[in-house]
Structure 1
Amino acid sequence: MKKFLLTLTGVLALSTAYAQTDENMNDTNATTSDYNRWSVEFAGGVNKFQRPVTSGYYTSTPSFYNADFGVRYMFNNKFGLKLDAGYYNFTEKDGSMPFESHYYRADLQAVANLGRIMSFETWTNTFGLLGHAGFGYGQLKAENKDFTDRMFNFMAGVTGQVRLGNRVALTGDFSTVLNARQDKTWDGQSNANVGRGFQGILFQGTLGLAFYLGGAEKHADWFAMDSMLQQKVDELEGRIATIETGLTDSDQDGVPDMFDAEPNSMAGVAVDQKGRTIDRNGNGVADELERYFDTKYGTGSGTTGSGTDVKSLINDGYVNVYFDFNSSTPTTESVAGINFLVKYLTANPSASADVVGYADEIGNSDYNQTLSQKRAENVKQILVDAGISGSRLNIKGNGEDTSVNKSSKGARQIVRRVTFQIK
């Protein structure tokens, strides 16, 4: 026990010299408002005196009762001071001579937050550990005895903590009190007749509550710079991830999604600085695509206003949506076909369309019929989500397309599709 007390005393003695330095170091990273520093503490429990004691007088092991009250201030999240007072009642055990005595003490103690020193935050945010040691003053009195024995004391102990919330913690403490200049025995019935030094010994164990004061979220007991820095790192990583996601160019038009007003523009067509398809005549067809159609198919009196019959191109199967084997979700590359129809139907509000699904010949015919229907339904849902009224879209599942060589993988890819018929 003496070795333990000497070790604990050494640690806490260093804390008083180091507290101001450590506070300045911490304050380079944390401000006073980052955590609360004050707390008030109430506890009660049991005790057991060891010596000096009059022969024939003794108490239970442990003996009830004692009570503690303290006020603590933390210089930083590792070191602090507390002023506390205690009251102890001693009465006889069965077989002892009758007596009743009372001990009062007040102590100023250095406190070390062992939980932070040993980085408890790396494995728990619920349990903590404090060490404390210091000097004080005590008085011993006994019933029916006319004396007051005044003495000095040294006190040291450890306090376990269970965090119940940001404002309160459950505490469990074990401490030893050593008295110097104790003239009377603990029972108060005789003179102590002890030598010089700390000869009086008293043990105590208590349970209590610590209430944290202040406007910050956490108290110094539970504040860890490492965890705060990790939280900031996590926040920065989240922001970076958001930016990285926003910089993705889903439609590959050269404008990142976070700045793209039209993130599903047709691949390969020119867009403005906000990612919007350039459509100067407002007919729902990209100008660049119109020029391509005019060059490839000649001029005429089509719906584009520049010679291209866009309706015929759609109905003739130049606009399709393709699917992987046994999938009802369109491939990423073919979503541009859906966007083409969205633009046409938006520019021509009186038009409607059949959405026609197909499957290849691999597998059961009934299953393929259902699959073709699901493909058409999924494409319709994408069109509806893009702002086209569902009443303008008619679903058809045409089952297997037998027009290609079913033993050809490439040919089968062509017929796993959804086509459109403008009406």
Structure 2
Amino acid sequence: MKKAVLPLLLLCLTQGVKAQDAGKTAQDYNKWTVELGGGINKVSNPLTPGYHVDAFNFYSVNAGARYMFNTKFGIKATGSLDRLQGSDISEDFETQFFSVGLQGVVNLGRVLEFETWTKRLNVLGHAGVGVGFLSGDMIKETDHTGNFLIGFTGQLKVSKRVTLWGDFNMTNTYTQHRTWNGAPYDGSQQGFDGTLYAATVGLNIALGKHEEHADWFVYNDEDKINDLESRLGELETMMNDSDKDGVPDYLDAEPNTINGVAVDSKGRTIDRNENGVADELESYIEERDRKNKESMGADLQDMINGGYVNVYFDFNQDMPNASSIGGINFLIKYLKENPGKSADVIGYADEIGDTEYNKALSARRADNVKKILTDAGIDAGRLNIVSNGEDNSVNKDSQWARQTVRRVTFIIK
């Protein structure tokens, strides 16, 4: 059960990090946007008697950056500058109101499933808090306000990264000590002191490596099925057991153990006396040797010639990997006990790469194994190098299958 649960947990934790070839996943979208816009504003109280503003003041600019946690909810930081002037029937004045804020964002288009009827129109809702700074020709010291912000943004998709938007925003102030025209103001002591309305248009630019932004991304049933099939395929690959020892390849520290030999929880051959030979195989050898040494010799030769004793190599390496030294030790033991025998040392490579290069690589692998055998006391004259080059008997696209053919094997003569 543990072997099955672990890969499932890993898949869940990495869900959305890795895009699958079968189709887009649940988080294949950009999350950041920057925005810039401008338009008109209008204020209501507080204004000093005799001071008025036009219905629309043509000076309101804003900029911001937005991050979407998912396709429905996000957060944005904004900054805006509004200029206020007296109307034709007002005493002259000019003030500036600069504000910054942090707002939560709701993608109403995804919540209300706009994608069922349009791919280019969308609506965002936003609300939050901020601070403001009111200054002007009648204000000696800048007036600081607290702000509550709320608004709606209509969107028109121009391209995959550019969106044209129109926004209506209302700013309610509190702790305001100056009227919008700059005169002293005591405040209402409760509720909001003043209100500023702004209507602006501008552009959004999406940032990121994906094709779509979260505002427009739709993860439909077909995408979900493709994603699930791809993840199930990945899980099946992770659970492969190339050497059939009961330990999946992704957990197997020794993925080329002899079939039927007992292994530990990490797939390593059990070798308590650390002599390089599996305990089960060693016990089998010793038991048969006690009964009939001559017969045993023939059986061992058949086992070696049948491909049960191999030396394995990592990709593009010509020295054996540490987990397969036991195969060399087994052959050393056999040849020392049978001095009349000789052996072909046969090298192989997988199909990845140039054929001629792999031919030379298989020769180097066989030659290095021969050197290990001679260094262990086996006469070099008893060993014959054979370079068989590429072994194309396995699936070239399977890294685990390719690992089984990067080897040196032996034929006893």
TM norm structure 2: 0.48
Greater gyration radius: 1
